[in-house]
Amino acid sequence: MTAQQTDTPGTLQLALAQIRVESGRVEANVERALEAIERAAARGADLVALPELFNVGYFAFDLYERRAEPFDGETFTRLRDAAAEHDVAVLAGTIVEDLAETEAVETPADEGLANTAALFDANGDLRLVYRKHHLFGYESAESELLVPGERLETASIGDFTVGVTTCYDLRFPELYRELIDAGADLLLVPSAWPYPRIEHWETLSRARAIENQCYVGTINGSGRFPDADATLLGRSTVYDPWGVTVASSGDDPTLVTADIDPGTVERVREEFPALRDRRL
């Protein structure tokens, strides 16, 4: 689904790339991501966001160690180059990062694996790194295999200040308050959210937009993981600062695009000053 486009100054066209993710098929998955970036840029996107562990597949736990990469490894390098080639910012979120092999950016540990997102601007320059803070343990090996992140930062893309979290982080609202206090007005959440928890996916995402009076873009994958008996539910969505759905999808691969306006965030916060009324 594509939201109605506008010509308002400062408006940013956001594209959520809900690609098909196949367990362990890293090369095919990365090619799909690159194709989605190219399509989105051709349609006028300013920022393209990818799902959680889009290259290896979230539920391919037995492949995490074998397919882990350093930060400056092949996957992030190809996406950085795609951002520069197509003149579009890219949230490359996320891959399994090998911390022991990473030298390019600060890491939370000298060894281990992390669930890592990188935000590149339209020149291919690195603007933000986010390693998933809250690791999932319910019917998942993620919390046993990975090291939690520690850094929480924002970056400017166009007239927006962008913050990034990942999937399970949606259940921890204090993380989002930190990003809002740091100036964020657009929150992106690459995810690998499976059936049957549709209500949780939609309610938590909308709540983060309402309580923080900002845009929230949730980027999910599409596909089934037979070995784990899991299917990603898709439904990538852009919510506005009132919590209203601006653009969304079903569970099939697609691009979800929306023109979003930083002035809307300012107007909502001024009209309904809930953030200003907080008592800390």
What is the distance between the alpha carbons of residues 237 and 257, in angstroms, rounded to a whole number?
Answer: 9
**How would you class 127 by CB atoms within 10 Å of its CB: exposed for 0-12, middle for 13-18, buried for 19 or more?**
middle
What is the distance between the alpha carbons of residues 37 and 193, in angstroms, rounded to a whole number?
Answer: 21
**How would you class 2 by CB atoms within 10 Å of its CB: exposed for 0-12, middle for 13-18, buried for 19 or more?**
middle
Q: Enumerate residues 6+ apart whose C-beta is below 8 A from 164.
A: 91, 93, 117, 119, 128, 130, 187, 188, 189, 190
Q: Enumerate residues 6+ apart whose C-beta is below 8 A from 239.
A: 205, 206, 209, 215, 216, 217, 218, 245, 246
Q: Mind telling me the catalytic residues?
A: 52, 132, 167
Q: β-strand 12-18 against 254-260: which pairing, if any? A: antiparallel
